[in-house]
Chains A and B, each alone.
Chain A
Amino acid sequence: MGRRVAIVGTGQTYHKSSRKDVNGVELIQEATSRALEDAGLTRKDIDAVVIGNMDHFEGINYVDTWSVDGNGGLYKPVMKVTTGGTTGTTVAIAGYYHVASGLFDTVLAIGWEKNSESDTTAAIITCSDPYWERPTFGGAVAGLAGTACEYMYKYGITERDAALVAVRDRKNALKNPYAHLRKQITVEEVLVSPMLAYPIKLLDICPRTDGACAVIFASEDKAKKIADKPAWIHQVSSRHNYTFLTDIERSGRMPTLYEACMEVYKNAGIRDPLHELDVVEMYTPSSFAGLVWIDALGVCDEGEAVRLVSDGVTEMSGEFPINPSGGVISTNCIGATGLIRVAEAAMQVSGKAGEHQIEGAKLALATGFGGCFWSDVLLIGSPRPN
């Protein structure tokens, strides 16, 4: 059993489709400075840095070393972590491990991406098997489209059902000053937006974003001194699936997310997540995934997620609010995306979420989704864990 760990500071850049005013190092520095400022710390207080993105989006290797000006890691231990879409949540989990191990007291975790600098789909395709999969695979959009097609067939959901998720998240984004896409959309607008890969249309899918996020993890002793209201890490879990897209087990609920959630709930003593969790920052790369994967959170019977969304249960005012930040459909700086879920979950339980604060939120779930349908889950709360 590791030591108790809490998040004591978070920082984000103002996310945009293209940040031509900064290079990668400067973008990273913006988020890092905001996190230090939020925690009331300086670079000197940081014992180690964990940083992640995906090399091929920017075509530069060794971000851990070349971004040292911006990541605050000069003459400190710096480690790079890259796990595809889950990079941001994995960076957070690695930051947590560093502190929980007892070897480091204060650790800075950074996720970032400058998606404007290359062809995102081309870069994503390089994650698939070079021979058997690349010729057909059409990146995240097409991969998610294939599964969306399957969900429509299996659960009888419609393109209109899925559109509700995009409309909800984009509405929430209006309250988040850092969100990338801040314009209200309607179901009709989603349905008539250009078809990218059937059945996914432009407004069903996450954007490409330039942005960075930084989160500071601290040991119990430090956390109590640094933060008025630390966001404690209650549980973390990670599950990986097969690498070949065609080997992935698809029976029932999104299996890696379901397994990771069940482990987290079991270890945290949660029996009724629908009522016990106050807010979820869910990695929803597409509207269809944002609908069907609710099943995997264990809050409804399989195939029933559409009812929760259409009944307003997942709205900010509902029993089970999902993505008050606006979620991935509003902001997607890929290496930062998972870490933004963690930061937002921490902001909620620390009462720092501003206009998109869920009143009285004590327990928040953050999820990460990566390339081959793998999942990270973090449970974050304001009460100190037992």
Chain B
Amino acid sequence: MFRKNYPLLTISSEIELPYNYSLGKYGGRLVTELKQNGRIVGIKCPKCDHVYVPPRRVCGRCFIEMDEFVEVSNRGILQSFTVVYFSFLDPETGKKRPVPYGYGRIKLDGADSEFLHFLEESDFKKLKIGVTVEAVYNENRVGSFKDIKYFKKVEDGDPS
């Protein structure tokens, strides 16, 4: 069908497609609390008492609307973690995400759902499921999820 070997070509294409996502009233309230008061708020289901962080409007289990905001602790227990070593294109920035970095699922005291955030530690040998971690805030808080810089291991119950 082809009389000679044509090269197999690929073409490169980049799409810059900025989005503006709504946090809604509920997510917005958590972000504002982080900025103004350095505290984390969740929301409690009136039916099953499940406390969700981040707060959202509807309890998926009961499928009813929630309106009771509750403060949860800046401390919690590390439920799982990983340390990422391979780099990839970060859809947030359009650049390669810096590695290594650690992140994990944290069950904050007073919450039933977990909270996904960065960990200070990026040596997996020094991380352990079940340790207590605490939020460390940036000095200048701008009203963002990232006003919490990372979660840091609490040594012997005291923040080190």
Contact = CB atoms under 8 A, between A and B. Distances in A.
Contacts of B116: 132-133, 136-137, 245-246
Contact of A135 (B23, B113, B124, B146): B146
Contact of A153 (B97, B117, B129): B129
A354 to B, nearest CB: 29
Contact of B117 (A117, A123, A136, A196): A136
A242 interface: yes
A247 B114 CA distance: 6
B30 to A, nearest CB: 9
A245 B83 CA distance: 17
A21 B8 contact: yes
B104 interface: yes
Given A135-B92, A136-B118, A146 B84 contact: no
A97 to B, nearest CB: 25
B80 interface: yes
Interface stretch (B13-21, B63-71, B132-140, B152-160): B13-21
Interface of A is mostly: loop
A199 B102 CA distance: 12
Contacts of B86: 121, 141, 194, 196-197
A350 to B, nearest CB: 33
Interface string B18-31: 01010100010000
Nearest to B54: A132
A117 B15 CA distance: 13
Chain A interface category by residue count: 35 or more
B32 interface: no
Given A121-B89, A198-B124, A131 B80 contact: no
Contact of B88 (A136, A139, A200, A244): A139
A21 B5 CA distance: 11
Nearest to B128: A153
Contact of B145 (A117, A131, A138, A242): A131
B91 A138 contact: no
Q: How large is the interface on B (under 10, 10 to 19, 20 to 34, 35 or more residues)?
A: 35 or more
Contacts of B27: 131-132
Given A122-B89, A132-B54, A153-B129, A246 B113 contact: yes
Contact of B113 (A130, A133, A149, A244): A244
B84 A130 contact: no
Given A145-B82, A146-B104, A59 B15 contact: yes
Contacts of A147: 80
A126 B21 CA distance: 13
Given A132-B54, A149-B82, A246 B114 contact: yes
A199 B124 CA distance: 9
Nearest to A195: B85
B56 to A, nearest CB: 8
B88 A149 contact: no
A130 B21 contact: yes
Nearest to A20: B8
Nearest to B20: A130
A123 B90 CA distance: 9
A245 B53 CA distance: 12
Interface in A140-158: 141-142, 145-147, 149-150, 153
Given A122-B90, A135-B146, A246-B115, A146 B124 contact: no
A125 interface: yes
B10 A20 contact: yes
A134 B91 contact: yes
A138 B103 contact: yes
A142 B82 contact: yes
A244 B43 CA distance: 15
Contacts of A195: 85
B82 A247 contact: no
A136 B116 CA distance: 7
Interface string A169-188: 00000000000000000000
Given A21-B8, A134-B92, A146-B104, A197 B113 contact: no
22 contacts: A20-B9, A59-B15, A126-B91, A130-B21, A132-B116, A134-B91, A134-B92, A138-B84, A138-B97, A138-B103, A141-B86, A142-B103, A146-B105, A150-B129, A196-B86, A197-B84, A198-B85, A200-B82, A245-B116, A247-B60, A247-B113, A247-B114
Interface of A: 20-21, 59, 117, 119, 121-123, 125-126, 130-139, 141-142, 145-147, 149-150, 153, 194-200, 242, 244-247
Given A142-B84, A150-B79, A195-B85, 16 more contacts: A20-B10, A21-B8, A117-B10, A119-B88, A121-B86, A123-B91, A126-B91, A131-B145, A132-B145, A136-B118, A138-B84, A146-B80, A149-B129, A197-B85, A198-B82, A198-B124
